[in-house]
């Protein structure tokens, strides 16, 4: 898998939720902060205002996408005047975020102009958070008039159609579209970051061909016997130049990130498979089970066997 796909696979937990909501003015809705989640709002028709926490209101038009990677609280309303009196939608309000509702939600006001919003949330596991997601801003606003949105618009249209007119297979199609949507949002945002040194951190790293080549090599084959010199060859740079460039953008040395990713991959395998420890050790680059167990305990403060037992999927309660 590539870096961005791996990031989403490692961090996301549970099933994403979404809803197709038709608002009739006047209307307003406050969305409470939801730690351990990432939310989105996509304007399909009409316009509205968004008030982020501790920030100025933002006018949204048809085709605009707002992504809140850290579950920040925010308010949507038909006008700035309505923002202050909007009711609160808490984290347990499943009517707003229900990917499997039989109908889209229709919130009637006084028959004013209609705004149609596609909203939703992804459940994330903070203990598995990839540094790429941690460095994202609290709010990402992708404007409809920006370039490179064709795939994102197509995914939004498909998801809106499935939510508005559910058909056979929706339980499989909707989660897959939501995952696709998340990847498109991140792809577009990273692609829009300025080049030439203005971007920093992971935004700059994913737009840096040399560092990205090394990252892709690590994610493609974490078990390979990587050294700084070998990764520098992948990047097409000298050893010293590569080491400095990688550390300045990623925030840790190349082998430090390699070890972190190996342990993150091992933890995922322990949670999601029944593969023997020696097999998992080999998949993340350790020649012996003992060496792997020592490295894993250093990273997670618990042996791999105990980690597997403590994180095994719980059986669903009988009805």
Same domain, 178 and 222: no
CA dihedral 108, 110, 116, 119 (to 10 degrees): -50
Same domain, 37 and 127: yes
Same domain, 41 and 136: yes
pLDDT digits (tens, 9 = 90+) for 120-167: 888 887 777 888 888 889 999 998 876 567 888 888 889 888 888 888
* Residue 303 near residue 266, CB atoms below 8 Å: no
Average pLDDT value for the chain: 84
The token pair at 36 is 């351990």
Closest CA to 214 of 182, 252, 258, 180: 258
62 within a domain of the structure (yes/no)? yes
197 within a domain of the structure (yes/no)? no
Same domain, 245 and 137: no
Answer with the one of 137, 162, 192 that is the final residue of a domain.
Answer: 192
316 within a domain of the structure (yes/no)? no
Query: Residue 94 has what pLDDT?
Result: 40
Same domain, 124 and 224: no
Q: What backbone torsions phi and psi does residue 223 show, to the nearest 5 degrees? A: -80, -10
29 within a domain of the structure (yes/no)? yes
Query: Residue 279 has what pLDDT?
Result: 97
pLDDT digits (tens, 9 = 90+) for 192-220: 876 655 456 888 888 899 999 999 999 99
Considering only residues 116 and 165, tell me which one the structure prediction assigns the higher pLDDT: 116
Query: Residue 146 has what pLDDT?
Result: 66
- Is residue 76 predicted with pLDDT exceeding 80? yes
Q: Is 81 exposed, middle or buried (0-12, 13-18, 19+ CB in 10 A)?
A: exposed
> Mutual orientation of helices 209-220 and 239-250 as an angle, nearest 10°?
90
Same domain, 30 and 145: yes
Q: Where are the beta strands (DSSP E) in the chain?
A: 17-24, 28-31, 37-45, 47-52, 58-61, 65-68, 74-77, 88-89, 105-107, 114-123, 140-142
CA dihedral 220, 222, 228, 232 (to 10 degrees): 0
317 within a domain of the structure (yes/no)? no
Query: Residue 246 has what pLDDT?
Result: 96
Query: Residue 145 has what pLDDT?
Result: 76
What global pTM score does this model have? 0.80
* Residue 48 near residue 21, CB atoms below 8 Å: no
68 within a domain of the structure (yes/no)? yes
| Residue 93: DSSP 8-state | -
pLDDT digits (tens, 9 = 90+) for 13-72: 777 888 888 888 888 888 888 888 899 999 999 999 998 888 888 999 999 999 999 989
Same domain, 187 and 62: yes
pLDDT digits (tens, 9 = 90+) for 255-286: 999 999 999 999 989 988 999 999 999 999 99
What sign does the CA torsion over 250, 254, 258, 259 have?
negative
242 within a domain of the structure (yes/no)? yes
3-class DSSP state of 102: coil
What's the rounded Cα separation, in Å, for the pair 86 and 78? 10
Most confident of 36-45, 123-132, 178-187, 233-242: 233-242
- Is residue 5 predicted with pLDDT exceeding 50? yes
Those residues with Cβ within 8 angstroms of residue 187's Cβ, 6 or more apart along the chain or in another chain: 4
Query: Residue 229 has what pLDDT?
Result: 98
Number of domains in the chain: 2
Closest CA to 125 of 16, 186, 38, 36: 36
| Residue 96: DSSP 8-state | T
* Residue 206 near residue 241, CB atoms below 8 Å: no
Residue 40 belongs to a domain with what CATH number? 2.60.120.280
Query: Residue 37 has what pLDDT?
Result: 87
Q: Within 10 A of 157 (CB to CB), how many other CB atoms are there?
A: 12
Same domain, 13 and 143: yes
**Furthest-apart CA pair in the chain: how many Å?**
69
Same domain, 256 and 230: yes
Residue 293 belongs to a domain with what CATH number? 1.10.10.60
Which band of pLDDT confidence, cut at 50, 70 and 90, is reported for residue 83? Answer: low
3-class DSSP state of 74: strand
Same domain, 224 and 173: no
- Domain extent, residue 232, equals 203-310
């Amino acid at each position: 898998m590539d870096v961005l796909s791996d990031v989403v696979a490692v961090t996301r937990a549970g099933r994403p939720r979404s809803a197709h909501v038709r608002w009739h003015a006047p209307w307003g809705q406050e969305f409470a902060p939801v730690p351990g989640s990432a939310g989105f709002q996509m304007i399909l028709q009409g316009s509205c205002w968004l008030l982020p926490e501790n920030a100025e209101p933002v006018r949204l038009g048809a085709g605009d996408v707002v992504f809140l990677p850290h579950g920040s609280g925010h308010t949507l309303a038909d006008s700035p005047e309505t923002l202050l009196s909007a009711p609160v939608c808490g984290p347990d309000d499943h009517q707003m975020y229900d990917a499997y509702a039989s109908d889209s939600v229709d919130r009637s006001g006084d028959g004013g102009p209609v705004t149609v919003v596609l909203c939703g949330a992804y459940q994330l596991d903070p203990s598995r958070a990839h540094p790429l997601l941690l460095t994202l801003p609290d709010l990402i606003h992708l404007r409809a008039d920006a370039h490179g949105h064709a795939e994102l618009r197509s995914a939004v249209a498909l998801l809106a159609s499935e939510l508005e007119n559910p058909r056979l297979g929706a339980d499989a199609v909707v989660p897959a579209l939501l995952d696709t949507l998340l990847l498109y949002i991140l792809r577009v945002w990273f692609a829009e970051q300025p080049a030439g040194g203005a971007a920093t951190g992971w935004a700059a790293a994913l737009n840096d061909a040399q560092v990205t080549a090394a990252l892709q090599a690590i994610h493609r084959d974490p078990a390979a016997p990587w050294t700084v010199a070998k990764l520098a060859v992948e990047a097409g740079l000298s050893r010293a130049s590569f080491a400095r460039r990688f550390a300045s953008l990623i925030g840790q040395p190349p082998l430090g990130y390699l070890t972190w990713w190996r342990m993150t991959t091992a933890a995922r395998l322990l949670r999601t498979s029944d593969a023997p420890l020696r097999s998992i050790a080999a998949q993340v680059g350790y020649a012996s089970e003992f060496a792997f167990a020592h490295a894993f305990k250093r990273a997670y403060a618990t042996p791999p066997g105990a980690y597997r037992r403590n994180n095994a999927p719980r059986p669903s309660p009988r009805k």
